[in-house]
Structure 1
Amino acid sequence: MLFNMKEISRTELLTSILECYPGIHIDYAKDIRDGFYNKGYRIFKPKKDTASFLGRITIPLFMTVWLLLLICMPLFFIATGSWGYSDKYFGWFLRWGSFAGIKNI
């Protein structure tokens, strides 16, 4: 559920509170922060997704394979009777796209 989220530290939370409310005194900001943690709240922020160098270097090959799959889709339709590719057989392609840092293929 929270696979792309990261829990923030107490220092990050204090910095965020001070940024949101610039006129607040630091002692009040610490009280707010401690109130969150004493009640058991956990605060998350999105992780920064970065692709590895190997993933980024394969993007031209990925785009070539994507173009070939797109061109061959009518032949696949004639052979199977279904339009498009299922995750069952082409899940590797989606995983490769995620590895290369390409979102929403």
Structure 2
Amino acid sequence: MFVQMKRDGGRINRSAFTCVLSTSADIAAFEFGKQIHGRLVKAGYHTGCYVGNALLSMYCKCGSIDEAYDVFEEIAEKDAVSWNTMIIGYARHGFGKQALRQFESMKEAG
């Protein structure tokens, strides 16, 4: 559907991008999610909490922790979802020490 909308020349808004990223994360479609990230950048969407958390979740669920961390760092105003997604991403992929460090950083950030 997303591809069809794009092909038909429809403008894709932030909500549509977020839905597509969420679906990509759920089915672990890493390459497609990465393409969507590129389109977000090209469309000029900044990594605010709403889009940033969707990107973060997609990268974590797909196992791309380094890219998830890069997105996490770009989120200016991190919320509980941002922090928890990053912590869970580390923990699920065997990075227990990083998960604990991230938890400590979250506590320090308030």
- With the length of structure 2 as denominator, give the TM-score of the two structures: 0.23
Which structure's CA Rg is the greater one?
1
Higher relative contact order (CA 8 A, sep 6+): 1
The answer to which structure has the higher strand fraction is 1
- With the length of structure 1 as denominator, give the TM-score of the two structures: 0.23
The answer to which structure has the higher helix fraction is 2
